[in-house]
Amino acid sequence: MKFDAILEYQRVDQELINLENEATSSKEIAALYSAKKTLDTATGTIGKLSQEASEILANQAKIQEKITALKAKLDEFDGIVDGIEAVSEADYYLKQIDAIVSEIVALEKESSKDMSRVDGITNEYKKTWEAGIKASDGYKQAKLAYDKYMASMQPKALEIKARLNELRKDVPDPIFNAYKTLRDGKKLPAFVEYDAEKKVCGRCRMDVPNDTAGKLRQSGDYAECPNCRRILYMP
């Protein structure tokens, strides 16, 4: 079997991979990822602040409801103590009143603390919102720069893909499928020349066992390297 077609396909395909690697390591995509991360952070913080404020306000409603109920209880004690002659009975009611008042005071402190936090959330929200607007603008600018960069790469990528499509016609399906499997597994080059003199793989340089070497005796022979799983061929 001749391997000229798959070797040329592999060589041109490497050009495409190099182009893709160049794009993924470009300053444009790095700037885009950075801008996206900044925007996501601001958006996430705004969401958390909104959720916290919503929970505090819901708790405020419950606190005010409790305070109203406790004050209504206090109203029930109006005049009761004055009409009681027994000290023990008066002491009982006074303790109940004191407990209710203490509970109201505690609730009001909790309410005050919550409202202070709401003020803090409001300030944080404002600052984060402003940062979010800047982050959004930064992301848009980075996206424009990235799109422009990718557009400049597109003609070269299309040219390489067109060459690959032509080369593919001359590659037998079993050979191409083997290549694609190795490419998907990021094992490139997929087809490597067997070093018959040293009996080693041309890529991983590991010794090839006798049963594999026995399949690689003449030009056109090929076999899988048992070490790196690439396809060894005899030129």
What domains are defined for the chain? 26-151 (1.10.287)
pLDDT in tens, 82-137: 666 666 776 787 788 889 999 999 999 999 999 999 999 999 999 999 999 999 99
Pairing outcome for strands 222-224 and 231-233: antiparallel
Percent of the chain scoring above 90 in pLDDT: 87
For residue 214, the SS3 value is coil
Question: What does the DSSP 8-state code read for residue 207?
Answer: B
Question: What does the DSSP 8-state code read for residue 192?
Answer: E
**In which residue are the tokens 């070093």 written?**
195
- The dihedrals phi and psi of 229, each to the nearest 5 degrees, come to 70, 10
Question: What does the DSSP 8-state code read for residue 135?
Answer: H
Q: What is residue 78's predicted lDDT score, i.e. its pLDDT?
A: 72
pLDDT in tens, 168-195: 999 999 999 999 999 999 999 999 999 9
Query: Mean per-residue pLDDT for 188-214?
Result: 95
For residue 195, the SS3 value is strand
> What is the enclosing helix (H) or strand (E) of 193?
strand 191-193
Alpha carbon distance 124, 120 (integer Å): 6
Alpha carbon distance 133, 155 (integer Å): 35
Across 170-196, b (16+ Cβ under 10 Å) vs e yields ebeeebbebbeebbeeebbbbbbebeb
pLDDT in tens, 8-50: 999 999 999 999 999 999 999 999 999 999 999 999 999 999 9
Pairing outcome for strands 191-193 and 222-224: unpaired
